[in-house]
Structure 1
């Protein structure tokens, strides 16, 4: 029995709500709620039950948001389990992010770089019996080219979704298993 890593792919990003606040004439703060729809695949012979969890979204090492992950089951030999999670940004200084990005080298001037960190509890299941409890440490580096998003007209309306197969977004994740 060769265990395989479960595979998660981002299917859809939907901006549910947002609020813009301007202070001192030029500082812009953004608060938003975003729904992420993920597709989960588990090619193992055991099911995996994930416990509800929270992950942190960081910008330049500072927490800017929280991802709430509900508990869900990834059955054995499954290839199309869809789950939704919420990304909450309570108050992000958008002016600072754009200013810092403009100071970067030319190839990264329009990039918003974010890190996602946290632990998710998981239980391995066979015939509804828990065999093993593990903790999965997740670290993702996410780059979003916000200029490319707006140039390609990929953000539809003001509240809506943008395609996840976009050239405007890149994510690289690593997992660590703790038994």
Structure 2
């Protein structure tokens, strides 16, 4: 899974390691792990996460829909759930944890 981290703020943001649950039509497919990283002020960075599918509990109809979405639409709508730890970085000092706004477009 590839997503873009955009920081439009005037300060840098340090993101901690994050774990997400990846879901397809309400069914958990697996877990995604994103390593921690630093995002400079006014910057954009592509971040890659690998989805580990340990056991997908797909019914045959759900599996058919997943295959149909990938072949016909060339994309699959996924829901990504999880928490992200972030800190503001000013002059090499980290703030306490802050709340961040995430927008996933997959």
Alignment TM-score, normalising by the size of structure 2: 0.71
Does residue 46 of structure 2 align to residue 82 of structure 1?
yes
Change (3 A) 1:39 1:60: closer
SS, match of residue 85 in structure 2: strand
Describe the superposition over 1:105-130 as per-residue Cα deviations: whole angstroms up to 9, x where unpaired: xxxxx335431111101101111112
Q: Match of 2:19?
A: 54
How far 1:138 sits from its partner (Å)? Answer: 5.0
Distance, in Å, in 2 between the alignment partners of 1:43 and 1:137 is 12
Describe the superposition over 1:16-49 as per-residue Cα deviations: whole angstroms up to 9, x where unpaired: xxxxxxxxxxxxxxxxxxxx34443322110000
SS, match of residue 44 in structure 1: coil
Distance, in Å, in 2 between the alignment partners of 1:42 and 1:73 is 10
Number of residues paired by the alignment? 99
RMSD: 2.9
How far 1:136 sits from its partner (Å)? Answer: 3.7
Query: Which one of 85, 98, 106 corresponds to residue 134 of structure 1?
Result: 98
The 8 Å contact of residues 64 and 89 in structure 1, kept in 2 or not, is answered as yes
Find runs of 4+ consecutive structure 1 residues off by over 6 angstroms: none
